[in-house]
Amino acid sequence: MFKKILCPLDFSEFTGEIVEYAVSIARNFGAELHFLHVIPNLNYFTPYESFLTPENLIAIENNIEAAVDKDFDKIMNIIDMSVKKIVKNGAPFVEIIEYVKAESIDLVVMGTHGRSGIEHILIGSVAEKVVRKSPCPVLTIRPRNKAFKMP
């Protein structure tokens, strides 16, 4: 049923839990597993163009890419399965949906932080946007010990 599974990773404290689900499902179906990390476009974070000179931007991006490589290495050391690792730059939900379409992904397994209230309004929900826009099923995983607050 599932031949290609995508697991977008944000390397939050709950990443290990999401990876466990994705690996288990991929093994059960004999599916190819893809890990995708999206580095948000830094221009979204600051309106101060003078701060992000080309030199500063390159240095910041290099530091982020090095950190992402280390985070991927940590994940790869705890699983015994080959996966396809991808790093993209842009808006996370847009890059995830584009990847799903380009690679003919059959299932997305991703975490949700359970944000609510003003935090949800300000930050938004990548998982919610992916669920709405994805052409394939999306399994969202809420961290085990994360309480969900009702407004």
> pLDDT by residue (tens digit) across 51-99?
667 787 778 888 988 999 999 999 999 898 999 999 999 999 999 999 9
Q: Domain residues of the chain, as ranges?
A: 4-141
Q: Report the pLDDT value the prediction gives residue 150, as an integer from 0 to 100.
A: 47
92 contact partners, CB below 8 Å, separation of at least 6: 8, 10, 38, 40, 126
CATH value of 4-141 in 3.40.50.720, 3.40.50.620, 1.10.600.10, 2.70.98.10: 3.40.50.620
* pLDDT of 49 higher than 70: no
Give the pairing type, strands 32-39 and 4-8: parallel
The whole-chain average pLDDT of the chain stands at 85
